[in-house]
Amino acid sequence: MVKIKQSISFFLLITCLLSACSSSRNMEQVPATATAGWQANTLVADGNDNEWIGNMAFYNEKLKMGYSITSDASTLYIRIRTTNEQTQQQILRGGLTVLINSHGVKDEHGAAGISFPTGNPGGKDNTLSGRPELSNNINIALSNVKDYSLFGFTTVKTVENYDYGRENPEHIEVGIGLNSSHALVYEAAIPFSAVYNESGAINAPGRSIAIGFVLDEAPSQQGRGNGRGSGISFGGGFGLGSFGSGGGMGLSIGTGALGGGRQGGGALKQDKIWREIVLAKVPAQK
């Protein structure tokens, strides 16, 4: 009888250990806080990651999405890469917002943001809404990436929209495309001067910063309109009216609350990832 009880206890212990191992594999296998890699060569955010050295530093199992965060003496670089078709469509059709909290806190409050892509349910005039074989084509979805939005930065404080490829006052660069392995690649280059004041930008290396990724679900073929016009909405579920220019969620940059939602519809399903990063220090001169 004792041996039977011991066997059962041993079996339960092994089961618990296997369950714990399985759960841990579903989480990102990285520390809560990591250090950004030093970026030795200046990168151009054009959606082609051939200039990047090394593999992805982080990986999110749920989204099947890898990402890297590096920095040099003056710029923060962010790269996302995924070969998962569902995640690719979620980024291109639902939208993606990258949040940057210069206080190192994993919180939307006080964070600056880049919404890019802003999401396209089926083309500028929604002409693809009844053609799922076209709407699910990644090349067509890429061709419909037309603009991006910035908010909460040093100069661009409230939401400002820009045509894709057009320069902005913060000199932030964004790019998206397919690489030679048919992986969707997102890149952003963010000068420290866009996030910190003059002295803060100079002393940014070595400081803690938090980066968030907010992905909306890809809209259904008949779920909503084209997302443009007076009811404009963009990645991360942020509506234009949400920032004090017409109602919405009432987000006030730096002090307000950020929540999921959309104008004229139900709650917006989102995936969020936060990563606290210590910016790389300038290597000592040899």
**Is 15 inside any structural domain?**
no
User: What number is the average pLDDT over the span 158-172?
Assistant: 97
Place of tokens 């017409």: 246
| Per-residue pLDDT band at 232 (split at 50, 70, 90) | very low
Find where tokens 């603009």 sit.
147
6 inside domain: no
Residue 265 and residue 224 in contact, taking contact as beta carbons nearer than 8 Å: yes
Averaged pLDDT score across all residues of the chain: 77
Question: Which residues have a Cβ under 8 Å from the Cβ of 157 and sit 6 or more positions away?
Answer: 151, 253
Give the residue with greater pLDDT, 241 vs 188: 188
Asked whether residue 243 carries a pLDDT value surpassing 70, the answer given is no
What confidence score (pLDDT) does residue 173 get? 98
In a domain, 12, yes or no: no
Instruction: Report, as an integer, the average pLDDT of 32-49.
Output: 90
Q: Count of domains in the chain?
A: 1
Q: Is the per-residue pLDDT at 33 higher than 80? A: no
Q: Is residue 231 part of a domain?
A: yes
Report yes or no on 17 lying in a domain: no
pLDDT confidence tier of residue 218, bands split at 50, 70 and 90: confident
**What's the pLDDT band for 229 if we cut at 50, 70, 90?**
very low
**97 Cβ neighbours under 8 A, 6+ residues apart:** 113, 114, 115, 116, 213, 214, 234, 235, 236, 238
Q: What is the pLDDT of residue 134?
A: 52
- Predicted confidence (pLDDT) per residue in 110-148, tens digit: 999 999 999 876 544 454 555 555 556 889 999 999 999
Q: Rounded to 5 degrees, what angle do the CA atoms 243, 244, 249 make?
A: 65
The per-residue pLDDT for 67 is 98
> What 3-state DSSP class applies to 123?
coil
Dist CA 116 CA 186 (whole Å): 9
Looking at the chain, the whole-number percentage of residues with pLDDT higher than 90 is: 57
Note the pLDDT of residue 94. Answer: 93
Q: Pick the range with the lowest mean pLDDT from 17-21, 24-28, 68-72, 176-180.
A: 24-28
Beta bridge pairs of residue 82: 184
Q: Which of 117-121, 179-183, 241-245 has the lowest mean pLDDT?
A: 241-245
Average pLDDT on 62-68 reads 96
The parent domain of residue 266 ranges over 32-278
pLDDT, residue 135, reads 54
pLDDT of 227 > 60? The answer is no
pLDDT at 285: 78
Determine the pLDDT at residue 114: 98
Instruction: Return the pLDDT at 261.
Output: 42
Query: In which element (H, E) is residue 178 found?
Result: strand 173-178
Answer yes or no: is 206 within a domain. yes
Average pLDDT over residues 223-251: 37
Q: What is the pLDDT of residue 145?
A: 95
Best CA proximity match to 190, nearest among 176, 209, 171: 171
At 132 the pLDDT is 56
Domain assignment of residue 14, yes or no: no
Distance between CA atoms of residues 50 and 151, nearest Å: 29
**Inside any domain, residue 286:** no
Predicted structure pTM score: 0.75
212 CB-near residues (< 8 Å, 6+ apart): 98, 99, 100, 101, 106, 108, 111, 272, 273, 274, 275
